[in-house]
Structure 1
């Protein structure tokens, strides 16, 4: 399966690596030239090296299927996605702008609700929000930050425009896979990291810890930070363990914590109770505290909300932040940016239709075969209708769902999502993809990962990239062309690879 870029067909959609057949984009040229120099045996060995690395490193995700939890090896494609740094700088600025507006919006909703009084945001959208927490009214977290960690999903349309598809503000996941993808790629293509100026991403655990520590109510003292997990049966448990280990903090479950008579949170240890300052919680609001939310929850800790409301502990992300993690609320983010920041949005939303509006609902129902219909609060690719690939029976079902609860549905046109070369059983083929960068907000500064988690629809023609729906992933390279390496070094490495190719020798096993 030696790569012949002349045979790679990329004309139908905007391709991330190629502007035309056999014409790579400037940022991807070193990568594509190098891949072109590899033999069939080289590629096979590189793929095998990646698969073995993922198994040895224990990189897994959990799929819920037929009432069972199934652990699967992380699906990974060895050909990276490449983005020019100059383009990325605009995207980064747009993500920072968006995070700032969303935090101001959440604070406003739990405060004076000026955006509703000024008729920028409809009161009925808030009234029917399943993620608005009345228990949070009047609360102001440190620095006014509610969504400390955000994962915004980006897609590129057919004209090359980058759109925000949705914002994930409750318990966004996937960053550990972004970091593991980079480690695997370094094992598979170590040569390219010597000759291509690929911007690093390995500072994320440090940045995350600093963000968490900055929220501590006991400033000046070394904070005790813990990660609260639902436990081993959660689909993101691998990530919980990985992040806790990388940050050097304790991984705890609900019963490991207790709230004392002083309303402080304590962690049970063999040396006695130890006060906790910051909880990075990976549990949904309703299971966080049986005293404040679901009384039957066995996952959280009784009294956590009381401790948080009294400023004795920081919860990251803050309870109630999910009010902005709603696909209907998403449609108002451009208006939020203008309202709170007085700026034009840097990154556009995907054009959307709100089914709660009678005229828009009529259009959606009449064009179900052309649109993607999404429920307001589902995730993981569940509960959607992809119109062009739907059956008449599925469209009839969604028509009834929309008419029964129009507030819960919105629709978007079927975008011609960008593609990237992906190794398949049939050879190198374009596959659709998206990108989830992660944004950390502290109040005084905002950090955006250099790139993010690229998810790939491994099924030909599919637009669903979620791993739970059969998707895979790629490493994401932000390449700085202005400060790139000496091309002579690359030529030397390519010559060595060509020599291996002629001799029929691969070097992937050594990577």
Structure 2
């Protein structure tokens, strides 16, 4: 361990009982943070605040924004996502274990999705209850028996991990439908290289830029046509979507078309892009809207965001859709409970990464336990994400606890509960000084027709910017950090 010099503005904060990513104890910095700690400790509070202001100005100038929706406001609020300059650092051996566990998990989940839309062996063998499938709002009967290009259902995924006070990582959630955050990962690294070139280039860290090329290669591999240069389009709901910046960023960086539903047309069970000089056939559609909205003829009939006839073109084998429709059946928070069993069933392996203990409130004994200990639980709606529909018992009022208790009793199948985990902390810069904040890690995985998952080195560290808060979601005011994997 290296000793921490108590220099101005960056004296160590109280460690309490949480695992701290930078500090081993009150006097010692973890070895992989030594260089970063030395540099930030050598800067004055004024210098740090100046860098932070420059970072936020750069983000605003480049339009790196996120839209917040507040029911109390008439209009959504667009803001720059809070970006903290002290990177989160993961040692090489630690990352290798995480990477292996993530690959194992995505492999099993992809096999599960294929299975339930075909033979349903896992249901017949009693591993997953049939009612968990047919009652799942993300299960799409339209996908039954359909051949998916390359057998890759989960082209992009975001696996949320936390580190508990015991120092071990646990999987918190699997995001398998339209995971977001890629742009903040790539753009955050670019900004860090610009603002701290002497820091990033002097550190031996894994590169992330090559993963954009991998992203494009993965999408190209899904093309059902034999054309050497397949046409790929990113389908966005439009500029008012909270993640529109990301949609535009990814399309620009990968050199693919950014389209809305109105830009596409169906003809002879094929999808075409409307261009000034005519129609151009699309081979791969990377969609960033949910199943309900992608095709009004197949799903929600009043959707104005999708493409009428898209599913017919998909069934005819004339276009690939990433992620495949129906992947959300494995994204559901109740299905999450069964992922360790899926790994054992399909891969005949023990899970490398554990789940957070989770209670299915449809089970009477588990429901009773949760209701008796509601103030010590996090309760989540199974079909929601982004921090919505969630209760953190320790932060709730008596009225909120009573209200959630009634919701659970009225519709227990709708909820799961987990004990409140003590998320690890990392230092952030706040007003020119260093302060602890809780964090998690969203690891991004790409999978093409070869079904060999690629984990982007580092992923996106999400930060609960409010002191003491455990809510890291951008939609709830959370921020992000650049994440370094040591090479």
Sort the TM-score into its range (normalised by shorter chain). Answer: over 0.9
Q: Does 1:27 pair with 2:32?
A: yes
Q: 1:396 aligns with which of 375, 384, 402?
A: 402
- Provide the secondary structure at the position in 1 that maps to 2:205: coil
C-alpha distance after superposition, 1:440-483 (max 9, x if no partner): 11242221010111110111110001122121111111123xxx
Check if 1:408 corresponds to 2:408. Answer: no
CA distance in 2, matches of 1:194, 1:102: 37
**2:15 corresponds to which of 10, 14, 18:** 10
State which drifts further: 403-412 or 421-430.
Answer: 421-430
Q: Are the counterparts in 2 of residues 3 and 35 from structure 1 also a CA contact under 8 Å?
A: no
How far off is 1:44 after superposition? Answer: 2.1
Q: Which aligned segments of 4 or more residues in structure 1 are displaced greater than 3 angstroms?
A: 1-7
Residue 4 of structure 1 deviates from its aligned partner by 5.4
Whether the 8 Å CA contact 1:79–1:423 is kept in 2: the answer is: yes
- Is 2:342 the counterpart of 1:352? no
Q: Is 1:271 the counterpart of 2:257 in the alignment? A: no
1:137 aligned residue (124, 130, 144): 144
Aligned-CA RMSD value: 1.4
Secondary structure in 1 matching 2:174: strand
Q: What pairs up with 1:445-464 in 2 under 5 angstroms? A: 445-464=452-471
Partner of 2:200: 193
Superposition deviation, residue 47 in structure 1: 1.3
CA pair 303-318 structure 1, distance change in 2 beyond 3 A = same
- Deviation digits for residues 367-387 of structure 1, max 9, x if unmatched? 101100011011111110101
Q: Write the distance in 2 (CA, Å) between the matches of 1:38 and 1:62.
A: 33
For 1:62, which of 37, 58, 67 is the aligned residue? 67
Aligned to 2:134: 127
Instruction: Return the TM-score normalized by structure 2.
Output: 0.96
Describe the superposition over 1:27-77 as per-residue Cα deviations: whole angstroms up to 9, x where unpaired. Answer: 111111111111223212221221221122211011112241211012111
Q: Which runs of 5+ in 2 are unaligned?
A: 1-5
For 1:22 and 1:223, the matched residues in 2 are separated by 56
Partner of 2:371: 365
Name the SS for the 1:268 alignment partner.
strand
- Residue of structure 2 equivalent to 1:37: 42
Say which is worse superposed, 16-25 or 248-257, in terms of deviation. Answer: 16-25
Deviations 1:148-194 (A, max 9, x none): 11101010000110010000011000110111111121122111122
Partner Cα separation in structure 2 for residue 6 and residue 207 of structure 1: 41
Show CA shifts across 1:112-166 (max 9, x none): 1110110000112112100001111111202211111110101000011001000
Q: Tell me, what secondary structure is at the counterpart of 1:273?
A: strand
Q: Which moved more, 1:308-317 or 1:435-444?
A: 435-444
1:181 aligns to 2:188 (yes or no): yes
How many residue pairs were aligned? 479
2-side partners of 1:177 and 1:3: how far apart? 30
Contact residue 151 and residue 436 of structure 1 kept, 8 A? yes
TM-superposed CA distance for 1:429, in Å, is 1.2
- Give unmatched runs, 5+ long, in structure 1: 481-511
Partners in 1 of 2:230 and 2:76 — Cα distance?
35
Contact 2:343/2:350 (<8 A) preserved: yes
Contact kept, 8 Å, 1:265 with 1:275, in 2: the verdict is yes
Question: CA–CA distance in 1 between the matches of 2:155 and 2:9?
Answer: 45
1:99 to 106, 114, 123: 106
Which stretch shows the higher mean deviation, 84-93 or 202-211?
Answer: 202-211
